């Protein structure tokens, strides 16, 4: 039996090209897709942090998670 090669469609992040919408007053606004993406990313990072905190993990991992969470929260606050 021959193995079949699985071809996957390239995944496109909501960040690529459609993160912001132009609004009538000349400014920009976060698209719903991008906001949904950031919310999901934040939830995932926070979940990872709770799991890592229950185990003995490398301190660099804990610092990285904390830094990523802060960056996502900052980006969400800037865009509101």
Query: How many separate helices (H) and strands (E) can be counted in the chain?
Result: 3, 2
pLDDT of residue 4: 58
pLDDT of residue 17: 47
Give the H/E segment covering residue 51.
helix 32-53
Q: Considering only residues 31 and 75, tell me which one the structure prediction assigns the higher pLDDT.
A: 75
* Residue indicated by tokens 């920009």: 28
- Classify the phi-psi angles of 17: left when phi > 0, otherwise alpha if psi is within -120 to 50, otherwise beta: left
15-74 pLDDT, tens digit per residue, is 444 555 554 455 567 788 888 999 999 999 999 999 998 988 889 999 999 999 999 999
């Amino acid at each position: 039996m021959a193995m079949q090669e699985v071809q996957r469609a390239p995944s496109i992040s909501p960040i690529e090209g459609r993160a912001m919408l132009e609004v009538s007053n000349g400014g920009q606004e976060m698209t719903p897709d991008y906001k949904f993406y950031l919310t999901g990313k934040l939830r995932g990072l926070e979940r990872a942090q709770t799991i890592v905190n229950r185990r003995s993990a490398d301190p660099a991992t804990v610092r990285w998670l904390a830094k990523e969470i802060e960056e996502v929260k900052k980006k969400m606050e800037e865009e509101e």
